Structure 1
Amino acid sequence: MALMALDHTRDFFSNAPFSPTDLNQTSAALFLTRWITHYCAPTFVFLTGVSAYLSTVRHAMTAWQLASYLLTRGVWLIVLELTVVRFGWAFSWNYHDLYGAVIWALGWSMIVLAGLVFLPRWAIGLFALVIIASHNLFDTIQPVDMGAWSWLWTILHVPGRIEYLPGYSLAVIYPLIPWVGVMAAGYWLAPVFLLAPKTRKILLLLLGLSLITAFLVLRLNNIYGDQPWSVQKDSLFTLFAILNCGKYPPSLLYLLMTLGPMLLGLVLFESSKLPGFSRPLLVFGRVPLFFYLIHLMLIHGTALVVGQFRGLPIDWLFRGFGFMPDMPTSRYGYDLLTVYAVWLVMLLLLYPVCHAYARFKQQHPEIRWLAYL
């Protein structure tokens, strides 16, 4: 959650007028700032699958009860993405342009998982493996090749815009494949989290190292799973080229690169004695959707207030095709050090609000709808 806030703070405050992963223009610090946030979405989706399985144990839920919860929760997330989240990004009620990003992908993945939970666990694992490992085989197929079904291929595999009514369109930023596979993988692996701590750590460590090894073998040899990398101007940027894997949709190598270290991170955080460091992170993690909704409003609103204070035009902060507004020129933004400072201020402001809401949820389990926020 904290890393996600860093990425979104950079979106609104950075003065870099180019993509931080553009190796022809970026700096090392800017590239790494963007690269580290790649771990956010795969972790969200994977651990949502884990949480879904653990809920069946914690609350003694039947498959039908879990499916009902996943279905309603998924629909709720999609509605939020198209309304409240969209407003948080654009500060505009002009809904002629909608977008589907990470909350959209989470919602649809939950809906798919609602059907998968009735299958044997081995079948769910096989589904996840096939979806994650094979989807790059279809990278050459474009929506135009699908004829009347082009809209479906845009939703599933290739980012793009769908005009569903004259003057109304949906920009799909997060195609659903292979996010549905990632959530299914989390659900399949979840029983490991119920094992004895020593056994769990060993299994997660072995699996994490296996995914990292697979990434290195495939990526270093440009075998499969992403666009080939090439030698850059120096060894550091050549390393960046290797790490610069596609996220939209997430390639096989992108997922190996992020999920492998994520599993090692789970082992590290469970093994380490970091109470002072981890307590704020645990608070954010207990209320992830609440955090997501208010952090967008806070970061976007802060950008607006700062722009007004500097005497700069702020009309651009009320525009956008449905995602975040485009900064007119670099003079509206700030260097990377300032971006980090703003990010830390955002986290400090978010912590007491999230802490209060987490306590409220804990003290009022009878308010069932709180499970949806």
Structure 2
Amino acid sequence: MPSSSYRIASIDILRGIIMIIMALDHTRDFFHQTAITADPLDIATTTPALYFTRWITHYCAPLFVFLSGISAFLAAQRRTRQQASLFLIKRGLWLVLIEITLVTLGLTFNPFYNFIILQVIWAIGWSMVILGLLSRLGYKAVLITGLVLFFGHNLSNYATLPATGVTGILWSALLTSPGIVVPLDTHHFVGIFYTILPWTGVMLLGYCTGYLYTQAYPAEKRKHVLLSAGFFLVALFMSLRIINVYGNPLPWKPQQDFLSNLLAFLNTSKYPPSLQYLCMTLGPGLVALPLLENAKTGWARIVSVYGSVPFFYYLLHFYLLHSLLVIVFFLSGYTAAQIADPASIFLFRPAQFGFSLPFVYTIWIGAVILLYFPCRRFQQYKKQHTHWWLSYV
């Protein structure tokens, strides 16, 4: 098999791994007993098992966005610069629309859209729009902008930015938001949980990394660059965390025992994504990419099925998990009168509802297995057809 096939395979395998892990976090949101009432990363109240169930999923969004950037670069090689730019802009706006409509509906099961949720697909969508515009200026413009956003966005922690009004909402949505809720009227709200520009920096650097996967780039050199960049980011994370001055909205506070120290050390900011958080998650991901290039075993082929149709999987897993939630909700003795809970934005998910971690893991494993079959079918369909709309799914 030619090297280029391995390149694509390694991307699909890594993306498949993070898609599987991502489903664990959303299963926990729907089914764990304290998912709404407590923070799983709060070392004062969590357990090691609950902490790492949440923490391991931190790797998903950064790698998902980064690999989306690589895929955008590879797709652009089949188009002219203007065509690639226009496609990225259109696909980005399409993703924003999908986030508002289909993703929100899958999460909430609320057909009245009382609460619109803007998360990773929203951030990817706007990042694609920005990438589409920047790519018209050339590769260097994308690279420089990506480096500035990636390494410099935490400078905003030292700036006094507007916090109220329309300007405050814009700054929050673009750069600083730990998660804000914007009321549209007395019954409709928008939750902006993924601020855009830090994620844009990740996508832009992913796009530039796509150059390493072109046919002309030597495979051994690519592996060396990826390993070096990955270990550099891990070392930078450790250094910034120890120095404790830059790269995270809140400094790390040493604790009294080893386990608490470890949990606090690893608890970097995802909302918004800090430089330390991005180094902690993307570093190991970059190391994994070259290590996966020669993976040809059965597990790799299975995992790559999920990674080859990530958007399809992402949409489908919300609807599957929430449908399972409806079944468990009624089997647990709840009634139609309890479908909506003012303390929860999810229908069929009261704030006090939920189960232990073993139950969560059981549902997660079952859901991932069930999702394999439609994902494999859709993967085969994409290989056999060239409809224009398939590039948007």
Fold shared per TM-score above 0.5: yes
1:298 maps to what in 2? 320
What displacement does 1:370 show? 1.7
Secondary structure at the aligned position of 1:155 is classed as helix
User: Is 1:134 aligned to residue 157 of structure 2?
Assistant: no
User: Is 1:162 aligned to residue 182 of structure 2?
Assistant: yes
1:245 maps to what in 2? 268
User: Is 1:182 aligned to residue 199 of structure 2?
Assistant: no
1:198 maps to what in 2? 220
1:295–1:350 CA contact under 8 A, matched in 2:
yes
1:70–1:113 CA contact under 8 A, matched in 2:
yes
What displacement does 1:259 show? 0.7
The partner residue of 2:385 within 360, 364, 372 is 364
What displacement does 1:85 show? 0.7
Secondary structure at the aligned position of 2:136 is classed as coil
Letter aligned with residue 323 of structure 2: G
Q: Which moved more, 1:194-203 or 1:205-214?
A: 194-203
1:99–1:323 CA contact under 8 A, matched in 2:
no
Q: Which moved more, 1:215-224 or 1:188-197?
A: 188-197
Q: 2: CA distance between counterparts of 1:197 and 1:212?
A: 23
Deviations along 1:117-138, whole A, 9 cap, x unmatched? 1123222111111112222121
Q: Which moved more, 1:183-192 or 1:203-212?
A: 183-192
1:143–1:154 CA contact under 8 A, matched in 2:
no
Q: 2: CA distance between counterparts of 1:54 and 1:253?
A: 28
Q: Which moved more, 1:42-51 or 1:13-22?
A: 13-22
1:310 maps to what in 2? 332
1:177–1:249 CA contact under 8 A, matched in 2:
no
User: How many positions carry a matched residue from both structures?
Assistant: 368
Q: 2: CA distance between counterparts of 1:198 and 1:326?
A: 52
Letter aligned with residue 308 of structure 2: R
Q: Which moved more, 1:10-19 or 1:33-42?
A: 10-19
2:329–2:349 CA contact under 8 A, matched in 1:
no
Q: 1: CA distance between counterparts of 2:66 and 2:342?
A: 30
1:262 maps to what in 2? 285
Query: Tell me, which stretches of 5 or more residues in structure 2 are unaligned?
Result: 1-18
Secondary structure at the aligned position of 1:99 is classed as strand
What displacement does 1:342 show? 1.1
Letter aligned with residue 264 of structure 1: V
2:115–2:188 CA contact under 8 A, matched in 1:
yes
2:5 maps to what in 1? none
The partner residue of 2:365 within 344, 347, 354 is 344
Q: Residues 1-373 of structure 1 correspond to what in structure 2 (within 5 A)?
A: 1-16=19-34, 17-57=37-77, 59=78, 61-139=79-157, 144-145=162-163, 147-157=165-175, 158=177, 159-164=179-184, 167-194=187-214, 195-226=217-248, 227-271=250-294, 273-313=295-335, 324=346, 327-328=349-350, 330=352, 332-365=353-386, 367-373=387-393
Q: Which moved more, 1:200-209 or 1:126-135?
A: 126-135
Q: 1: CA distance between counterparts of 2:303 and 2:219?
A: 21
Residues 343, 166 of structure 1: alpha-carbon distance in 2 compared, 3 angstrom cutoff:
closer
What displacement does 1:149 show? 1.3
Secondary structure at the aligned position of 1:178 is classed as helix
Letter aligned with residue 8 of structure 1: H
Q: 2: CA distance between counterparts of 1:322 and 1:312?
A: 15
State the TM-score, normalized to the length of structure 1: 0.93
1:91–1:319 CA contact under 8 A, matched in 2:
no
What displacement does 1:313 show? 3.6
State the TM-score, normalized to the length of structure 2: 0.88
1:92–1:318 CA contact under 8 A, matched in 2:
no
What displacement does 1:193 show? 1.9
Letter aligned with residue 301 of structure 1: S
Secondary structure at the aligned position of 1:210 is classed as helix
Query: Tell me, which stretches of 5 or more residues in structure 1 are unaligned?
Result: none
What displacement does 1:315 show? 5.5
For the aligned residue pairs, the C-alpha RMSD in angstroms reads: 2.1
Residues 72, 148 of structure 1: alpha-carbon distance in 2 compared, 3 angstrom cutoff:
closer
Residues 270, 117 of structure 1: alpha-carbon distance in 2 compared, 3 angstrom cutoff:
same
